[in-house]
Amino acid sequence: MATELLINIVSQATGKGFLESEKAVNKLEKKVKSLGKTLGVSLAAGAALKFSKTFIKAFAEDEKAAVRLNRAVENLGIGFANPSITKFIADLERTSAIADDVLRPAFQNLLSTTGSLTKSQELLNKAITISRGTGIDLATVTDDLTKAYVGQTKGLSKYKTGLTSAELATKSFSEIVGIILTANLGAAEDYLDTTAFKMDVLTLATGNAQEIIGGGLVDALGSFAGSGEASDAQFVIEQLSTGFANLLKLGGTVLGFLARIPEFGFRAVGLGEMYERPKPKPKTEDAFTIRQKELLAKLEKAAVDRAKKLAELAKKQANAEILKRKEKEKQAKLDKAALALGKGEDVFDLDKIQINAAILATQENIAKLGIAATDQQKLQLANDAQRLTVKQLMLDLEDAIADKDVERATSLSKQLNTELAILGTLTGQTYKLGEIDKILERFKPKDLINLDNLDAAIRKLLEIAGSRFDFLSPIMPSQDRTAINELAPDITSRYVAGDPEAVRAVEAHADAISMLAESELALADALLAESERALNIATASLTTGGLPDFFNPGAFRMRDEPIRIEIVDKTSGLIEVVQNAVIENTRYGNSLTYSGNLTAV
Amino acid sequence: MPTEVENALELRLALKKFMPDLAKETQDEMANALRPVVARARGFIPSEAKLLSGWVKGTSSIDTIKYRAFPTFNSSDAKRGLGYRVTPSKPNKSGFVSLARIQQANAGGAIYETAGRLNPNGRRQGPVVDRYKNGVYDQTTHTGKQYSTSLNPNAGQQFVDNLNAAGPLVNARPKGMQGKPTRKQTGRAMYRAWAEDNGVALTAVIKAIENAKYKFEEKMAA
């Protein structure tokens, strides 16, 4: 299935799709109109309903996020702080032009992780700066920061801090945030001057208008109305939408007033007490505030303690990392030493030496006995050789396991199984002589060149050259080229018809044939000259005169001339050395003669 | 949002019929404009070593299973999958024909391009739901398209984190640009290259069409 991931750069409307769509829409419209008539509901009301639904949906989404945050705050035991958090989010939304439905989850994320209200607010501000500076969305930034807060620094690599993963792991959370903030310092302020920010403000205002109108619509319980048009200024949009919402609320209030008319009647006749609401309890704001402060202080203390613990944990982790690295270095050194030791052990591995010696001895026995060996001897030798092989494989396998070389160990174990199966066959006496011969054959020392090899090579050459190959006068059989002049019927017909391509092809073919003929003629001339020379030499060998010197036996005869022999004496120095040595020996009491020697007692 | 032009298809047909050389030249000009963007995008495709090994290797039963397995990532294939076209496409359901486009045809490359765009933290595991099967009620994990089917609850997060570490998601149409902002022009290679091109290629393509139109009209008037 082809993917549809593409950037469409330039396109044109062909109208085909639109025409079809238009037809479909017209058809649908007719049907809806008829349905509307039937039900007595105009299409305008349907459109208003759709419009209102969009706004209500926006309001519902916003409300959902707010409720989620409220619940998270309540779960932390500081439900009373919800109004201040709402105010903080609203202020931040206004100043940073980031929608509250983005800010709320981010704040909730931070609050759940840090457990501290002030810390979360501080981190959210920092996250906005980082988001503006790096271009990464706020949700990702807060997510990364919360992870970093609990020691997971992997996600921070995207912020291009210039630190390695190991370095990030050793840094504390505040240090990391400090580094990222330094890199993005002033980004949030710069963004405030950009057109993008202004556009954000307008988008936000429109979004808020949707939410406010949605809220009003919900309050008005089914009064569907509204306008899609809004001015291009944030203030005007919000004022308009708030006014609209108020209007809707007013409707509800009027209805409420109408519903209270009976109450006014009762009050007029002096029976208003039944409508009296319970008086509000006296405010204990001071005690309450003190309690709130206590709770907040407790929460902050817990958060600080947790931060401390996390810092300690991070420190411990860093120390553990350092220790681990040191251990690894130590282990690497030990491994290196073990490798050197292993090499030494290989040289002095008595087991291996003994097995090699035993294999050599077996090979010698096989060579000695040769084809004269009896079946019993063959069996015995094959058993010995096989046992030695198995033993050698076992040692190799032990080494491979010790080296943790899985590939080699697997291969060796497979080989060992095969060899064990062969040994089982031998020891089980259910052998076949042919198989034993094969086993023995494997243990015979291999010659690089022997008569068998040469015979095989000659056989191969004869196969290649055919039966006419002669070592004394090697003439290679020429190829059968009788069909070389035959052309394909298609080419012939085109050539006859005068097709220039065919004419060119035939001419090129003819040139190639003449060149081939010329080269073969030259080769034939060279071979003829060579054979004539060989024939001349052979003819000349019948008479001594016609041969070159090295073929003439007469040239090797001794001539009748006196022989001079010169002897040059170059031994005087040697005599001197020998004499000195004898004297020296005698002086030290090491006489070369037996006379004068003392017999050992 | 692509730039919409009028009568470009007709111009192309006319050029092919009356001035084939100019038609070819125009296509070459458009291709020359798009080629650097594709080359840049190919540069953003990471090597396999930077990604999770399981995605690079794929499942061991990939040759025997009957269904289409999750596509694996191969750096060379993903680079090869990136390309451009300067011939008109078939009309889409709205009747629009694309005259020039950049596309990623490789499935692995497309995943690298867009993973984490909709769900920045990966798809979460499905909730446990009641099921009635073979006369027995039991419970199973919801296997909807919006849920991860991995046994690892953090699989989606880990996958997206790894991809984000290899290359950030860049929106070629962020908020603030003229027109409606969209998430669908966000990506790691192709869309990133398009964003970094800052409209140079787009201008060149439109200029090529404009030039062709001018030359054609000039020739017809002469």
Which pLDDT value is given to residue A429? 44
Q: Which residues of A touch B191 (CB under 8 A)?
A: 7
Question: Pick from B120, B131, B114: which is nearest to B185 by CA?
Answer: B114
**Nearest residue on chain B to A201, alpha-carbon basis:** B176
CA distance A274 to A372: 132
Chain A nearest C-alpha distance from B132 (Å): 32
Which pLDDT value is given to residue A226? 45
Q: Which residues of B touch A146 (CB under 8 A)?
A: none
Chain B nearest C-alpha distance from A202 (Å): 10
Q: Do B102 and A9 touch (CB under 8 A)?
A: yes
Chain A nearest C-alpha distance from B65 (Å): 17
User: Which of B5, B121, B190 is closest, CB to CB, to A143?
Assistant: B121
* pLDDT confidence tier of residue A227, bands split at 50, 70 and 90: very low
- Cα separation values, A120 from A94, A104, A183, B151, Å: 18, 11, 21, 33
User: Which of B4, B120, B191 is closest, CB to CB, to A12?
Assistant: B4
User: Which of A8, A14, A200 is closest, CB to CB, to B175?
Assistant: A200
Count of CB atoms situated within 10 Å of the CB of B107: 20
* pLDDT confidence tier of residue A403, bands split at 50, 70 and 90: confident
Q: What is the mean pLDDT of chain B?
A: 89
Task: Go through chain A and tell me how many residues it has.
Answer: 601
Chain A nearest C-alpha distance from B136 (Å): 37
Interface test with A, best of B6, B40, B101 (most A CBs within 10 A): B101
Interface test with A, best of B97, B177, B184 (most A CBs within 10 A): B97
A196 touches chain B (CB under 8 A): yes
Q: Do A2 and B161 touch (CB under 8 A)?
A: no
A3 touches chain B (CB under 8 A): yes
Q: Do B2 and A15 touch (CB under 8 A)?
A: no
Q: Which residues contact A278 (CB under 8 A, 6 or more apart)?
A: none
pLDDT exceeds cutoff 70 at A25:
no
pLDDT exceeds cutoff 70 at A12:
yes
Q: What is the mean pLDDT of chain A?
A: 72
pTM reported for the whole predicted model: 0.34
Provide the token pair at A411: 């291969």
Amino acid at A203: T
Strands B96-104 and B82-85: antiparallel
Chain B nearest C-alpha distance from A5 (Å): 6
Which pLDDT value is given to residue A332? 85
Which pLDDT value is given to residue A547? 53
Which pLDDT value is given to residue A430? 41
Q: Do A154 and B165 touch (CB under 8 A)?
A: yes
Q: Which residues of B touch A139 (CB under 8 A)?
A: 120
Q: What mean pLDDT comes out for the span B175-184?
A: 80
Write out the DSSP string of A121-151: HHHHHHHHHHHHHH---HHHHHHHHHHHHTT
Higher pLDDT, A569 or A65: A65
What percentage of chain A exceeds 90 in pLDDT?
0
Q: What mean pLDDT comes out for the span B107-121?
A: 94
Q: Which residues of B touch A9 (CB under 8 A)?
A: 2-3, 34, 98-102, 201-202, 205
Q: Any idea which of A238-242, A513-517, A594-598, B187-191 has the lowest mean pLDDT?
A: A594-598
Provide the token pair at A556: 């090797």
Q: Do B95 and A9 touch (CB under 8 A)?
A: no
Q: Do B96 and A11 touch (CB under 8 A)?
A: yes
Which pLDDT value is given to residue A566? 67
Chain A nearest C-alpha distance from B97 (Å): 5
Strands B170-171 and B128-133: unpaired
User: Which of B5, B110, B187 is closest, CB to CB, to A10?
Assistant: B5
Which pLDDT value is given to residue B37? 96
| A548-600 residue pLDDT tens | 555 555 554 555 556 666 666 666 677 777 777 777 776 676 655 544 444 44
pLDDT exceeds cutoff 70 at B110:
yes
CA distance A87 to A107: 13
Q: What is the dihedral of CA A259, A260, A266, A271, to 10 degrees?
A: 130
pLDDT exceeds cutoff 90 at B115:
yes
Q: Which residues of A touch B4 (CB under 8 A)?
A: 10-13
Strands B136-141 and B170-171: unpaired
3-state secondary structure of A559: coil
| A343-365 residue pLDDT tens | 666 556 667 777 778 877 877 77
Question: Pick from B105, B107, B113, B106: which is nearest to B45 by CA?
Answer: B113
What percentage of chain A exceeds 70 in pLDDT?
63
Q: Do A13 and B94 touch (CB under 8 A)?
A: yes
User: Which of A1, A8, A195 is closest, CB to CB, to B176?
Assistant: A195
Question: Pick from A264, A277, A206: which is nearest to A235 by CA?
Answer: A206
Q: What mean pLDDT comes out for the span A61-82?
A: 75
Contact A378, A444 (CB under 8 A): no
Q: Do B8 and A10 touch (CB under 8 A)?
A: yes
Which pLDDT value is given to residue A570? 62
Q: Which residues contact A304 (CB under 8 A, 6 or more apart)?
A: A116
Q: Which residues of A touch B161 (CB under 8 A)?
A: 154-155
| B7-61 residue pLDDT tens | 778 888 888 888 889 889 999 999 999 999 999 999 999 999 999 999 998 877 8
Amino acid at A326: K
Contact B153, B46 (CB under 8 A): no
Q: Which residues of B touch A194 (CB under 8 A)?
A: 176
Q: Which residues of A touch B97 (CB under 8 A)?
A: 11-14
CA distance A485 to B58: 58
Q: Do A7 and B102 touch (CB under 8 A)?
A: yes
Q: Do A14 and B97 touch (CB under 8 A)?
A: yes
A21 touches chain B (CB under 8 A): yes
CA distance B91 to A11: 10
Higher pLDDT, A185 or B190: B190
- Count CB pairs under 8 A between chains A and B: 125
| A440-497 residue pLDDT tens | 566 566 666 677 777 888 788 777 766 555 555 555 555 666 677 777 788 888 888 8
Tracing tokens 């419009």 back to the chain, one arrives at A51
Q: Do A158 and B165 touch (CB under 8 A)?
A: yes
Which pLDDT value is given to residue A223? 45
A6 touches chain B (CB under 8 A): yes
Q: What mean pLDDT comes out for the span B67-71?
A: 88
Contact A238, A205 (CB under 8 A): yes
User: Which of B6, B91, B110 is closest, CB to CB, to A5?
Assistant: B110
A565 touches chain B (CB under 8 A): no
Provide the token pair at A15: 């109208």
Q: Do A3 and B106 touch (CB under 8 A)?
A: yes
User: Which of B2, B9, B168 is closest, CB to CB, to A8?
Assistant: B2
Which pLDDT value is given to residue A44? 46
pLDDT exceeds cutoff 50 at B91:
yes
Q: What mean pLDDT comes out for the span A132-157?
A: 82
* pLDDT confidence tier of residue A401, bands split at 50, 70 and 90: confident
Q: What mean pLDDT comes out for the span A130-139?
A: 83
A380 touches chain B (CB under 8 A): no
A10 touches chain B (CB under 8 A): yes
Q: Do A13 and B114 touch (CB under 8 A)?
A: no
Which pLDDT value is given to residue B42? 96
CA distance A295 to A78: 7
Q: Any idea which of A70-84, A251-265, A268-282 has the lowest mean pLDDT?
A: A268-282
Q: What mean pLDDT comes out for the span B124-145?
A: 86
